[in-house]
Structure formats: C-alpha cells, structure tokens
C-alpha cells in the first residue's frame, strides 16, 4: 500500500532497527508500537510462518492487528545456515525483542548474553510470563495471569471469575516492553551501552489491580468484584430503557446530580434533603436506584444520550466491537486506517485497523505498510546483510530461509 504523507524520516524512531523473534500478541505489540513510531521492525518467522497468521475464532485478528509497519523474513533457526542469518541480523539491530519460553533463545545463541558480546549497544527486550522468581518457569497466558492476579475475580460476579474481554495483559505487557526499550535507547545515548529489559504478564496484571490492592490497604476492606462493588457515586450504572435499549449513565458530583435532576425533570429528587450530597445518595442507593430505573425506563437510549450530551453529563451507549467501524468520532479523528490482509481466504482484501491512541505534533501515527506476507522482505534483508543473490538463493534452496 502507499505510504502515508508522514514519511519514516519524520517519525521519532526513524533510523532505529528492531529485530523481533515474537509470536501471538505480547511481543508483536511491542514491535508494533516501535514500528508505528518509525523504527524499522523486522519480524523473524519460522519458515512456515507465524502460526497466528492462521488462527481461527478470537485469534483471527491477532496477526493483522499487531504486525503492521513491519518487514518479514522466514528463518529456520534449527538450520546452521539459517541460524547464522538470524545471528547476523540480530547483531545488526538496535533492539531485539522476543517472547519465547525461558532458555529458548539461549539454546540458539540469540539471548542477550550472546548477542551483547557481538553488539555492546544492543537493547534486548524479553517478554515473559513472570519476572525472575519462583514462578518464572511456569507457562503463562493472558487468562492464566488474570485468574491468579485478581483481575478475573474483579471482572466477574462473585463465584464466577471472568477474564476481561480483550488481551489486556498481552497488549499492555508489549507496551511496557516498548516503553522499556525506548528508555534504554535514551540511556544508551548517554552511556553508549545497551541493556536487557524484562516485561512480564503477571507483574503487568498486578499493576492493573494495584488500585484494588491499595483500596484494601487504605480501608481495610477487600475490594468487591466490579459487578458487586460499593460505588463511590450514586448514579454510575447501566440502565435498561425503552424498546430494549441499554445505556450507561453517571452523575459523579453534586453539580452533576443537580444538572441530572434538572435535565430529566426530577425536581422532587433534587429537593430531597436525604439526597443532598454524593455520600447521602450513595447511602440511599438501595431506595434511590429502583426509582431511577423506573423513571428512566420511559425513555429510549437515544433520547437519554441526547439529553445527557446537551447537559454535559457522562453517558455511554453500549456498543459492540464491530459497530465501532462506523463510529463518527473514530472516523473524524482518523483513528482507523486501511491495511491489506496478508493471509487466509481474504488475503489481499482491505480492512480498517485501529491506530495507536495518540497524536504527535497534531498527527496520528500512520500505517506505512500493511502486515507483511511471510518472507516478503527476505531478499532485501539478506542483501543488506551482505549476502549475494547466489548465496541468498542457496539459502532458499536449502530451506534455511523463506
């Protein structure tokens, strides 16, 4: 696809080379963040391709979502000739990122200890299940750490732990890996030396539930699962309304409560001295909420949204992910960009992908290239490493690269 008007040279990480030995979501997210920021990110895949290219169901979006703006080379690390290519490629990098089980990269001489001897300026990012400690050799998944790290307990109803509806730890773990990589690059600019960075799913999950841990530390009361929590605000709920609709409505200050009552004609509630302050209303929730649910049920979700928007009150329609493609705000702010799908029955078709949720100098970070086909950049990368066309062909013939 054609590059965006913002060229790589204008982006913050232009000139930085990243080589990633990653799969699934966590490691690829780190590479995607660095790629979106302008780095040259090279994805090293098995010669039969990253298996996320062909996942079904909930995994079908993994590869096209997290691998844009990257180059692909297929390498058989079990082949001595392929491994030589991988080591030469990794040695040429500013950053290497990986998310394999402990010991896998060391087996191939692609760990930090080995590569840093070849390139002392290398920043090496490990994406793991756990930081070094008693759990470090366990196999971790997003769902595993959500269960053991309190997030599933907080998301589900009592007795029914439920994972969050997105790969939150994988994605955030990759983001923290990218933050660590960028911090290490800044430090390298001062010291001239690289370093090893570790980002872990379990510790990321614990960071996410840290607010609930601190709630216990401050109050002495365990945090209740979110569906059963004691809300800090009286009006902070999903309401079922007319024609089967649903909408989230909130009034989180005394001024908002008064505006809420004025907007909906609830003069009696506004004047009730037992509802004068937020804490009064929180204490009155057992009697207040049934009244509000009955009264609000007479309105449609669209009518309530219009009222709340007009009065500057917090509200949210209940949307499904597929409905967001048509969201007018996302369209107006350039939050979605087209990519060509690289694999599967729809290979070559275009789809809109979500961009990083930030602007730099007033611009969104662009999609410069679609998720790559397996080995799409192998010839270019081998030439850059000094392999002649004949040598590159010999590597392909030997199935050392793809």
| Burial class (CB within 10 angstroms; exposed 0-12, middle 13-18, buried 19+) of 55 | middle
Catalytic residue among 160, 170, 243, 302: 170
- Alpha-carbon distance of 318 to 330, in angstroms, equals 16
Q: What angle do CA 29, 33, 36 make, to 5 degrees?
A: 130
Query: Can 170 be counted among the known catalytic residues?
Result: yes
d(CA 118, CA 88): 9
**Which residues 6+ apart lie within 8 Å of 263 measured at CB?**
307, 308, 310, 311, 313
Determine the Cα–Cα distance for residues 91 and 82; give it in Å rounded to an integer.
14
**And the tokens for 245?**
């609709």
3-state secondary structure 133-193: CCCCCCCCCHHHHHHHCCHHHHHCECCECCCCCCCHHHHHHHHHHHHHHHHHHHHHHHHCC
Q: Are 353 and 51 in contact (CB under 8 A)?
A: no
Residues 366, 338 contacting (CB under 8 angstroms): no
Do 50 and 72 form a contact (C-beta atoms < 8 A)? no
Q: Which residues does the annotation mark as catalytic?
A: 170
């Amino acid at each position: 696809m054609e590059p965006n008007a913002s060229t790589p040279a204008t982006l913050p990480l232009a000139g930085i080379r990243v080589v990633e030995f990653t799969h699934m979501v966590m490691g690829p997210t780190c590479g995607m963040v660095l790629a979106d920021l302008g780095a040259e990110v090279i994805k090293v895949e098995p010669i039969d391709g990253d298996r996320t290219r062909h996942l079904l169901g909930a995994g079908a979006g993994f590869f096209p979502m997290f691998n844009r703006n990257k180059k692909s080379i297929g390498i058989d690390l079990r082949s001595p000739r392929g491994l030589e290519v991988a080591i030469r490629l990794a040695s040429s990098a500013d950053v290497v990122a990986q998310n394999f089980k402990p010991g896998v990269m060391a087996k191939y001489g692609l760990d930090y200890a080995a590569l840093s001897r070849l390139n002392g300026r290398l920043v090496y990012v490990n994406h793991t299940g756990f930081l070094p400690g008693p759990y470090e050799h366990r196999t971790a998944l997003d769902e595993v750490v959500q269960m053991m790290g309190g997030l599933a307990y907080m998301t589900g109803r009592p007795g029914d732990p439920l994972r969050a509806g997105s790969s939150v730890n994988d994605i955030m773990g990759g983001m923290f890996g990218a933050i660590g990589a960028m911090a290490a690059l800044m430090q390298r600019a001062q010291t001239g030396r690289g370093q090893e960075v570790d980002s872990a799913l379990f510790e990321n999950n614990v960071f996410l539930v840290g607010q609930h841990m601190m709630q216990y530390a401050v109050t002495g009361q365990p945090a209740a699962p979110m569906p059963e929590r004691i809300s800090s605000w009286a009006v902070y709920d999903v309401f079922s309304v007319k024609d089967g609709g649903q909408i989230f409505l909130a009034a989180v200050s005394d001024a908002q409560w008064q505006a809420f009552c004025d907007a909906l004609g609830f003069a009696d509630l506004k004047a009730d001295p037992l509802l004068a302050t937020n804490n009064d209303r929180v204490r009155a929730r057992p009697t207040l909420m049934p009244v509000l649910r009955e009264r609000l049920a007479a309105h449609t979700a669209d009518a309530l949204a219009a009222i709340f928007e007009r009065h500057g009150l917090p509200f949210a329609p209940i949307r499904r992910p597929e409905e967001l493609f048509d969201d007018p705000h996302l369209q107006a702010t350039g939050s979605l960009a087209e990519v060509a799908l690289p694999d599967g029955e729809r290979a070559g078709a275009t789809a809109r992908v979500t961009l990083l949720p930030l602007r730099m100098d007033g611009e969104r970070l662009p999609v410069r290239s679609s998720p790559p086909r397996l080995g799409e950049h192998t010839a270019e990368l081998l030439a850059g490493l000094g392999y002649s066309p004949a040598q590159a062909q010999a590597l392909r013939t030997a199935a050392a690269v793809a």
